[in-house]
Amino acid sequence: MHRFANPTQFMRIANAIYPWAAGLCVLLFAAAIPIALVFSPPDYQQGDTVRIMYVHVSSAWLMMMIYGIIAANSAMFLIWRHPMANLMAKASAPMGAIFCALALITGMLWGKPMWGAFWVWDARLTSTLILFFLYLGYIALSDAFEDSERGDKAAAILALVGSVNIPIIHFSVEWWNTLHQPSIIKDGNMSVDPALRLPLFLMMGAFTMFYFAVLILRLRSELLAAKIRNARLSQVADASAPQPAE
Amino acid sequence: MTRKRRRLYFVLLGLLGLGAGTALVLTAFQDNIVFFFSPTDIAAKPVCAQRCTIGGLVAAGSLMKEGQNVSFDVTDTVETVSVKYVGIIPDLFREGQGVVVEGRMNSGVFMASNVLAKHDENYMPPEVADALKKSGRWKEGEPLPAATKSN
Protein backbone atom coordinates (compact mmCIF):
# COMPACT_ATOMS: atom_id res chain seq x y z
CA MET A 1 0.00 0.00 0.00
CA HIS A 2 2.89 2.36 0.76
CA ARG A 3 3.84 2.07 -2.92
CA PHE A 4 0.90 4.38 -3.74
CA ALA A 5 2.28 7.08 -1.48
CA ASN A 6 4.48 8.00 -4.43
CA PRO A 7 2.51 10.60 -6.43
CA THR A 8 3.83 9.34 -9.78
CA GLN A 9 2.81 5.74 -9.00
CA PHE A 10 -0.51 6.91 -7.64
CA MET A 11 -1.37 9.11 -10.59
CA ARG A 12 -0.45 6.37 -13.06
CA ILE A 13 -3.24 4.25 -11.59
CA ALA A 14 -5.59 7.20 -11.08
CA ASN A 15 -5.17 8.31 -14.70
CA ALA A 16 -5.96 4.77 -15.87
CA ILE A 17 -9.13 4.78 -13.75
CA TYR A 18 -10.24 8.25 -14.83
CA PRO A 19 -11.77 7.49 -18.29
CA TRP A 20 -13.72 4.54 -16.78
CA ALA A 21 -15.05 6.60 -13.89
CA ALA A 22 -15.97 9.53 -16.13
CA GLY A 23 -17.55 7.28 -18.79
CA LEU A 24 -19.54 5.26 -16.24
CA CYS A 25 -20.66 8.50 -14.58
CA VAL A 26 -22.09 9.83 -17.86
CA LEU A 27 -23.71 6.49 -18.76
CA LEU A 28 -25.24 5.98 -15.31
CA PHE A 29 -26.60 9.53 -15.18
CA ALA A 30 -28.03 9.12 -18.70
CA ALA A 31 -29.93 6.06 -17.45
CA ALA A 32 -30.69 7.25 -13.91
CA ILE A 33 -32.14 10.70 -14.60
CA PRO A 34 -34.95 9.70 -17.00
CA ILE A 35 -35.79 6.56 -14.98
CA ALA A 36 -35.80 8.44 -11.66
CA LEU A 37 -37.75 11.44 -12.92
CA VAL A 38 -40.14 9.97 -15.49
CA PHE A 39 -40.22 6.22 -16.00
CA SER A 40 -40.26 4.89 -12.43
CA PRO A 41 -43.64 4.64 -10.69
CA PRO A 42 -44.65 7.00 -7.86
CA ASP A 43 -44.80 5.76 -4.26
CA TYR A 44 -48.12 4.60 -2.79
CA GLN A 45 -47.97 7.17 0.02
CA GLN A 46 -45.64 9.93 -1.12
CA GLY A 47 -46.65 10.10 -4.76
CA ASP A 48 -44.05 11.83 -6.90
CA THR A 49 -42.27 13.27 -3.85
CA VAL A 50 -40.47 9.93 -3.60
CA ARG A 51 -38.26 11.05 -6.49
CA ILE A 52 -36.45 13.40 -4.09
CA MET A 53 -35.25 10.24 -2.34
CA TYR A 54 -33.05 9.25 -5.29
CA VAL A 55 -30.95 12.42 -4.97
CA HIS A 56 -31.22 12.52 -1.17
CA VAL A 57 -30.02 8.98 -0.47
CA SER A 58 -27.27 9.23 -3.10
CA SER A 59 -25.98 12.48 -1.57
CA ALA A 60 -26.17 11.04 1.94
CA TRP A 61 -24.28 7.92 0.80
CA LEU A 62 -21.51 10.07 -0.68
CA MET A 63 -21.26 12.38 2.33
CA MET A 64 -20.67 9.28 4.51
CA MET A 65 -18.28 7.56 2.10
CA ILE A 66 -16.24 10.73 1.47
CA TYR A 67 -15.91 11.36 5.19
CA GLY A 68 -14.69 7.79 5.61
CA ILE A 69 -12.11 8.38 2.88
CA ILE A 70 -11.02 11.66 4.49
CA ALA A 71 -10.67 10.04 7.92
CA ALA A 72 -8.71 7.05 6.57
CA ASN A 73 -6.38 9.30 4.57
CA SER A 74 -5.93 11.65 7.53
CA ALA A 75 -4.85 8.69 9.65
CA MET A 76 -2.38 7.60 6.96
CA PHE A 77 -1.08 11.15 6.73
CA LEU A 78 -0.64 11.48 10.50
CA ILE A 79 0.95 8.08 10.99
CA TRP A 80 3.14 7.63 7.87
CA ARG A 81 3.28 11.29 6.73
CA HIS A 82 2.24 10.35 3.19
CA PRO A 83 1.66 13.66 1.38
CA MET A 84 -0.53 11.89 -1.17
CA ALA A 85 -2.94 10.82 1.58
CA ASN A 86 -3.18 14.42 2.72
CA LEU A 87 -3.86 15.52 -0.85
CA MET A 88 -6.64 12.91 -1.19
CA ALA A 89 -8.30 14.13 2.01
CA LYS A 90 -8.00 17.80 1.09
CA ALA A 91 -9.27 17.28 -2.46
CA SER A 92 -12.27 15.30 -1.16
CA ALA A 93 -13.39 17.70 1.56
CA PRO A 94 -15.21 20.34 -0.55
CA MET A 95 -17.07 17.59 -2.41
CA GLY A 96 -18.09 15.98 0.85
CA ALA A 97 -19.35 19.33 2.11
CA ILE A 98 -21.39 19.87 -1.06
CA PHE A 99 -22.99 16.41 -0.94
CA CYS A 100 -23.72 16.88 2.77
CA ALA A 101 -25.42 20.20 1.99
CA LEU A 102 -27.36 18.51 -0.82
CA ALA A 103 -28.53 15.76 1.51
CA LEU A 104 -29.66 18.35 4.07
CA ILE A 105 -31.44 20.54 1.50
CA THR A 106 -33.18 17.69 -0.35
CA GLY A 107 -34.18 16.26 3.02
CA MET A 108 -35.78 19.55 4.01
CA LEU A 109 -37.62 19.82 0.69
CA TRP A 110 -38.98 16.32 1.28
CA GLY A 111 -39.70 16.88 4.97
CA LYS A 112 -42.00 19.86 4.50
CA PRO A 113 -44.65 18.09 2.39
CA MET A 114 -44.26 14.66 4.08
CA TRP A 115 -43.62 15.33 7.77
CA GLY A 116 -45.06 18.81 7.88
CA ALA A 117 -41.74 20.43 8.90
CA PHE A 118 -38.57 21.48 7.10
CA TRP A 119 -36.42 20.69 10.09
CA VAL A 120 -36.67 18.91 13.42
CA TRP A 121 -33.89 18.38 15.96
CA ASP A 122 -33.93 14.61 15.92
CA ALA A 123 -30.74 12.57 16.21
CA ARG A 124 -30.35 11.82 12.49
CA LEU A 125 -30.82 15.40 11.31
CA THR A 126 -28.72 16.91 14.09
CA SER A 127 -25.80 14.51 13.60
CA THR A 128 -25.88 15.17 9.85
CA LEU A 129 -25.74 18.92 10.47
CA ILE A 130 -22.73 18.30 12.72
CA LEU A 131 -21.11 16.39 9.85
CA PHE A 132 -21.63 19.44 7.63
CA PHE A 133 -19.91 21.65 10.21
CA LEU A 134 -17.08 19.10 10.46
CA TYR A 135 -16.54 19.39 6.72
CA LEU A 136 -16.49 23.19 6.92
CA GLY A 137 -14.18 23.07 9.92
CA TYR A 138 -11.82 20.70 8.12
CA ILE A 139 -11.63 22.98 5.07
CA ALA A 140 -11.16 26.12 7.18
CA LEU A 141 -8.58 24.56 9.51
CA SER A 142 -6.37 23.17 6.75
CA ASP A 143 -6.05 26.72 5.37
CA ALA A 144 -5.79 28.49 8.72
CA PHE A 145 -2.01 28.34 9.23
CA GLU A 146 0.82 30.23 7.52
CA ASP A 147 2.72 26.97 7.61
CA SER A 148 0.53 24.69 5.48
CA GLU A 149 2.03 21.55 7.06
CA ARG A 150 0.73 22.56 10.49
CA GLY A 151 -2.69 23.33 9.06
CA ASP A 152 -2.81 19.93 7.35
CA LYS A 153 -1.95 18.16 10.60
CA ALA A 154 -4.52 20.09 12.63
CA ALA A 155 -7.20 19.37 10.00
CA ALA A 156 -6.26 15.69 9.90
CA ILE A 157 -6.68 15.46 13.69
CA LEU A 158 -10.08 17.17 13.42
CA ALA A 159 -11.09 14.68 10.70
CA LEU A 160 -10.14 11.75 12.94
CA VAL A 161 -11.91 13.18 15.99
CA GLY A 162 -15.01 13.82 13.86
CA SER A 163 -15.06 10.24 12.61
CA VAL A 164 -16.93 9.18 15.78
CA ASN A 165 -19.88 10.98 14.23
CA ILE A 166 -20.10 8.56 11.28
CA PRO A 167 -21.42 5.52 13.22
CA ILE A 168 -23.65 7.91 15.18
CA ILE A 169 -25.27 9.15 11.95
CA HIS A 170 -25.66 5.62 10.64
CA PHE A 171 -27.14 4.09 13.79
CA SER A 172 -29.02 7.18 15.04
CA VAL A 173 -32.28 5.85 13.58
CA GLU A 174 -31.85 2.55 15.45
CA TRP A 175 -30.48 3.76 18.78
CA TRP A 176 -33.01 6.53 19.39
CA ASN A 177 -36.55 7.50 18.46
CA THR A 178 -36.22 9.77 15.47
CA LEU A 179 -38.63 11.36 13.05
CA HIS A 180 -36.36 10.22 10.23
CA GLN A 181 -37.33 6.78 8.93
CA PRO A 182 -35.08 3.78 9.68
CA SER A 183 -32.61 2.42 7.14
CA ILE A 184 -34.13 0.84 4.03
CA ILE A 185 -31.77 -2.12 4.40
CA LYS A 186 -32.43 -4.34 7.41
CA ASP A 187 -31.04 -7.85 7.97
CA GLY A 188 -30.07 -7.95 4.30
CA ASN A 189 -33.62 -7.21 3.14
CA MET A 190 -34.57 -4.00 1.39
CA SER A 191 -37.89 -2.34 2.10
CA VAL A 192 -37.87 -0.63 -1.30
CA ASP A 193 -39.81 -2.18 -4.17
CA PRO A 194 -37.58 -3.30 -7.10
CA ALA A 195 -39.27 -0.74 -9.37
CA LEU A 196 -38.03 2.06 -7.09
CA ARG A 197 -34.77 0.31 -6.26
CA LEU A 198 -33.51 0.48 -9.85
CA PRO A 199 -33.39 4.30 -10.14
CA LEU A 200 -31.96 4.51 -6.61
CA PHE A 201 -29.04 2.18 -7.36
CA LEU A 202 -28.38 3.80 -10.75
CA MET A 203 -28.32 7.23 -9.13
CA MET A 204 -26.03 6.09 -6.29
CA GLY A 205 -23.66 4.58 -8.85
CA ALA A 206 -23.69 7.74 -10.95
CA PHE A 207 -22.97 9.93 -7.90
CA THR A 208 -20.13 7.65 -6.78
CA MET A 209 -18.50 7.66 -10.23
CA PHE A 210 -18.89 11.44 -10.34
CA TYR A 211 -16.97 11.71 -7.08
CA PHE A 212 -14.12 9.49 -8.30
CA ALA A 213 -13.83 11.28 -11.65
CA VAL A 214 -13.81 14.76 -10.10
CA LEU A 215 -11.45 13.61 -7.33
CA ILE A 216 -8.87 12.48 -9.92
CA LEU A 217 -9.21 15.79 -11.78
CA ARG A 218 -8.71 17.69 -8.54
CA LEU A 219 -5.66 15.59 -7.62
CA ARG A 220 -4.15 16.23 -11.06
CA SER A 221 -4.57 19.98 -10.80
CA GLU A 222 -3.28 19.99 -7.20
CA LEU A 223 -0.11 18.15 -8.28
CA LEU A 224 0.35 20.51 -11.23
CA ALA A 225 -0.12 23.52 -8.95
CA ALA A 226 2.55 22.11 -6.61
CA LYS A 227 4.90 21.67 -9.60
CA ILE A 228 4.35 25.28 -10.67
CA ARG A 229 4.97 26.50 -7.12
CA ASN A 230 8.23 24.56 -6.93
CA ALA A 231 9.34 25.84 -10.34
CA ARG A 232 8.64 29.44 -9.27
CA LEU A 233 10.47 28.93 -5.99
CA SER A 234 13.57 27.58 -7.69
CA GLN A 235 13.43 30.48 -10.19
CA VAL A 236 13.34 32.97 -7.32
CA ALA A 237 16.15 31.11 -5.60
CA ASP A 238 18.25 31.20 -8.78
CA ALA A 239 17.63 34.90 -9.31
CA SER A 240 18.47 35.91 -5.75
CA ALA A 241 21.54 33.68 -5.49
CA PRO A 242 24.75 35.73 -5.25
CA GLN A 243 26.32 36.06 -8.69
CA PRO A 244 29.87 34.71 -8.95
CA ALA A 245 32.41 37.56 -9.18
CA GLU A 246 33.88 38.08 -12.60
CA MET B 1 9.46 1.02 18.56
CA THR B 2 9.76 3.21 15.49
CA ARG B 3 8.16 6.64 15.42
CA LYS B 4 5.67 5.47 12.82
CA ARG B 5 4.63 2.52 14.95
CA ARG B 6 4.29 4.83 17.93
CA ARG B 7 2.11 7.26 15.97
CA LEU B 8 -0.06 4.35 14.78
CA TYR B 9 -0.70 3.17 18.35
CA PHE B 10 -1.28 6.73 19.47
CA VAL B 11 -3.95 7.29 16.80
CA LEU B 12 -5.62 3.93 17.51
CA LEU B 13 -5.61 4.57 21.25
CA GLY B 14 -6.95 8.09 20.74
CA LEU B 15 -9.81 6.84 18.59
CA LEU B 16 -10.62 4.11 21.12
CA GLY B 17 -10.71 6.61 23.98
CA LEU B 18 -12.75 9.06 21.99
CA GLY B 19 -15.21 6.34 20.95
CA ALA B 20 -15.61 5.12 24.53
CA GLY B 21 -16.08 8.68 25.79
CA THR B 22 -18.70 9.45 23.16
CA ALA B 23 -20.54 6.22 23.90
CA LEU B 24 -20.70 7.12 27.61
CA VAL B 25 -21.92 10.66 26.91
CA LEU B 26 -24.59 9.44 24.49
CA THR B 27 -25.79 6.82 26.99
CA ALA B 28 -25.93 9.41 29.77
CA PHE B 29 -27.99 11.79 27.63
CA GLN B 30 -30.24 9.06 26.26
CA ASP B 31 -33.43 10.84 27.40
CA ASN B 32 -32.39 14.13 25.77
CA ILE B 33 -31.44 12.60 22.44
CA VAL B 34 -34.66 10.69 21.80
CA PHE B 35 -36.86 12.85 19.63
CA PHE B 36 -40.09 11.64 21.16
CA PHE B 37 -41.42 9.52 24.01
CA SER B 38 -43.80 6.62 23.54
CA PRO B 39 -47.12 6.50 25.41
CA THR B 40 -45.57 3.77 27.59
CA ASP B 41 -42.72 6.12 28.62
CA ILE B 42 -45.27 8.73 29.57
CA ALA B 43 -47.29 6.29 31.65
CA ALA B 44 -44.11 5.04 33.40
CA LYS B 45 -42.48 8.35 34.39
CA PRO B 46 -43.56 11.99 34.51
CA VAL B 47 -41.51 13.07 31.48
CA CYS B 48 -44.24 15.27 30.07
CA ALA B 49 -44.89 17.73 32.90
CA GLN B 50 -43.45 20.46 30.68
CA ARG B 51 -43.52 20.66 26.90
CA CYS B 52 -42.56 17.41 25.26
CA THR B 53 -42.93 15.30 22.16
CA ILE B 54 -44.73 11.98 21.95
CA GLY B 55 -44.81 9.50 19.10
CA GLY B 56 -46.65 6.36 18.11
CA LEU B 57 -49.38 5.19 15.77
CA VAL B 58 -52.68 7.00 15.25
CA ALA B 59 -55.12 4.52 16.82
CA ALA B 60 -57.61 3.10 14.32
CA GLY B 61 -61.09 4.59 14.66
CA SER B 62 -59.98 7.38 17.01
CA LEU B 63 -59.67 10.25 14.54
CA MET B 64 -62.33 12.97 14.84
CA LYS B 65 -62.25 16.10 12.74
CA GLU B 66 -64.38 19.21 12.94
CA GLY B 67 -62.96 21.93 10.77
CA GLN B 68 -59.52 22.59 12.21
CA ASN B 69 -60.32 20.90 15.51
CA VAL B 70 -58.74 17.45 15.47
CA SER B 71 -58.63 14.79 18.12
CA PHE B 72 -57.10 11.34 17.96
CA ASP B 73 -55.35 8.73 20.11
CA VAL B 74 -51.63 7.96 19.91
CA THR B 75 -50.85 4.37 20.77
CA ASP B 76 -47.86 2.05 20.96
CA THR B 77 -50.26 -0.92 21.28
CA VAL B 78 -49.61 -1.01 25.06
CA GLU B 79 -50.55 2.46 26.28
CA THR B 80 -52.67 5.16 24.64
CA VAL B 81 -52.68 8.95 24.94
CA SER B 82 -55.56 11.14 23.68
CA VAL B 83 -54.47 14.17 21.73
CA LYS B 84 -56.31 17.40 20.89
CA TYR B 85 -55.01 19.69 18.17
CA VAL B 86 -56.16 22.82 16.34
CA GLY B 87 -54.55 23.34 12.96
CA ILE B 88 -53.69 21.72 9.67
CA ILE B 89 -52.47 18.13 9.74
CA PRO B 90 -49.88 16.86 7.21
CA ASP B 91 -50.88 14.83 4.14
CA LEU B 92 -49.42 11.55 5.38
CA PHE B 93 -51.44 11.73 8.61
CA ARG B 94 -53.81 8.74 8.69
CA GLU B 95 -55.18 6.22 11.13
CA GLY B 96 -52.70 3.38 11.61
CA GLN B 97 -49.86 5.64 10.47
CA GLY B 98 -46.90 6.85 12.53
CA VAL B 99 -47.24 10.29 14.10
CA VAL B 100 -45.11 12.61 16.24
CA VAL B 101 -46.88 15.26 18.33
CA GLU B 102 -45.38 18.25 20.17
CA GLY B 103 -47.29 19.82 23.06
CA ARG B 104 -48.02 19.36 26.76
CA MET B 105 -50.15 17.15 28.99
CA ASN B 106 -53.19 18.90 30.42
CA SER B 107 -55.35 16.87 32.85
CA GLY B 108 -54.86 13.60 31.02
CA VAL B 109 -55.22 15.00 27.51
CA PHE B 110 -52.23 15.91 25.37
CA MET B 111 -52.74 19.42 23.97
CA ALA B 112 -50.73 19.44 20.74
CA SER B 113 -49.10 22.52 19.30
CA ASN B 114 -47.63 20.72 16.30
CA VAL B 115 -48.39 17.45 14.51
CA LEU B 116 -45.80 15.73 12.30
CA ALA B 117 -46.39 12.63 10.20
CA LYS B 118 -43.76 9.94 10.55
CA HIS B 119 -42.95 8.15 7.35
CA ASP B 120 -41.88 4.51 7.47
CA GLU B 121 -39.11 2.88 5.44
CA ASN B 122 -41.43 1.11 2.98
CA TYR B 123 -41.34 2.36 -0.59
CA MET B 124 -43.43 0.81 -3.37
CA PRO B 125 -45.65 1.70 -6.31
CA PRO B 126 -49.40 2.11 -5.60
CA GLU B 127 -50.25 -1.04 -7.58
CA VAL B 128 -47.96 -3.18 -5.44
CA ALA B 129 -49.41 -1.71 -2.23
CA ASP B 130 -52.95 -2.38 -3.49
CA ALA B 131 -52.12 -5.94 -4.47
CA LEU B 132 -50.52 -6.66 -1.10
CA LYS B 133 -53.48 -5.19 0.76
CA LYS B 134 -55.99 -7.07 -1.39
CA SER B 135 -54.29 -10.39 -0.84
CA GLY B 136 -54.30 -9.63 2.90
CA ARG B 137 -50.55 -10.13 3.22
CA TRP B 138 -49.87 -6.63 4.52
CA LYS B 139 -51.57 -3.66 6.23
CA GLU B 140 -50.38 -0.06 6.31
CA GLY B 141 -48.08 0.69 9.20
CA GLU B 142 -46.78 -2.88 9.33
CA PRO B 143 -43.38 -4.01 8.11
CA LEU B 144 -43.51 -5.56 4.65
CA PRO B 145 -43.78 -9.37 4.45
CA ALA B 146 -40.33 -10.84 3.85
CA ALA B 147 -41.30 -12.47 0.54
CA THR B 148 -41.78 -9.12 -1.19
CA LYS B 149 -38.54 -7.72 0.16
CA SER B 150 -36.09 -10.32 -0.89
CA ASN B 151 -36.69 -10.38 -4.64
Asked if the model's pLDDT at residue B140 lies above 70, the reply is no
Domain boundaries, chain B: 1-33, 34-117
What three-state secondary structure class fits B119?
A: coil
Tell me the C-alpha to C-alpha distance, in Å, between residue A116 and each of A172, A220, B93: 21, 45, 10
Do B141 and B97 contact (CB within 8 A), yes or no? yes
pLDDT value at position B141?
Answer: 61
Task: Compute the distance between CA of residue A137 and CA of residue B54 in angstroms, rounded to an integer.
Answer: 35
pLDDT value at position B149?
Answer: 43
pLDDT value at position A23?
Answer: 97
**Shortest CA distance from B88: residue in chain A:** A116
Round the average pLDDT of chain B to a whole number and report it.
Answer: 84
Rg of chain A, C-alpha, whole Å: 22
A interface mutation test: which of B35, B122, B137 has the most A CBs within 10 A?
B35
Task: Compute the distance between CA of residue A142 and CA of residue A149 in angstroms, rounded to an integer.
Answer: 9
Q: Which residue stretches of chain A are H helix?
A: 7-34, 51-80, 83-114, 123-142, 148-162, 165-175, 194-240
Round the average pLDDT of chain A to a whole number and report it.
Answer: 91
How many other C-beta atoms lie within 10 A of the C-beta of residue A152? 22
Q: Which residues of B touch A85 (CB under 8 A)?
A: none
Asked if A45's CB is within 8 angstroms of B119's CB, the reply is yes
Asked if the model's pLDDT at residue A167 lies above 90, the reply is yes
Buried b / exposed e along A44-68 (16+ C-beta atoms within 10 A): bbbeebbbbbbbbbbbbbbbbbbbe
Asked if B128's CB is within 8 angstroms of A42's CB, the reply is no
pLDDT value at position B150?
Answer: 41
Q: Which residue stretches of B29-51 are H helix?
A: 30-33, 39-44
Asked if B116's CB is within 8 angstroms of A120's CB, the reply is yes
Asked if A53's CB is within 8 angstroms of B11's CB, the reply is no
Domain boundaries, chain A: 25-40+51-181+193-236
| Residue range B81-125, pLDDT digits in tens | 999 999 888 888 888 888 999 988 887 888 999 899 988 888 888
pLDDT value at position A31?
Answer: 95
Top-level CATH class of B34-117? Answer: mainly beta
What's the residue count for chain A?
A: 246
Nearest Cα to A107, choosing from A120, A92, A94?
A120
| Residue range A114-140, pLDDT digits in tens | 998 899 998 999 999 999 999 999 999
Give the gap in angstroms from C-alpha A102 to the nearest C-alpha of chain B.
20
Task: Compute the distance between CA of residue A74 and CA of residue A156 in angstroms, rounded to an integer.
Answer: 5
**Shortest CA distance from B21: residue in chain A:** A164
**Shortest CA distance from A185: residue in chain B:** B121
Q: What is the dihedral sign for C-alpha A70, A75, A78, A81? A: negative
Q: Strands B80-86, B98-106: parallel, antiparallel or unpaired by DSSP? A: unpaired
pLDDT value at position B151?
Answer: 39
pLDDT value at position A36?
Answer: 93
Q: Which residues of B touch A160 (CB under 8 A)?
A: 11, 14-15
CB pairs under 8 A between A and B: 128
Task: Compute the distance between CA of residue B123 and CA of residue B142 in angstroms, rounded to an integer.
Answer: 12
What percent of chain B clears pLDDT 70, i.e. is strictly above it? 91
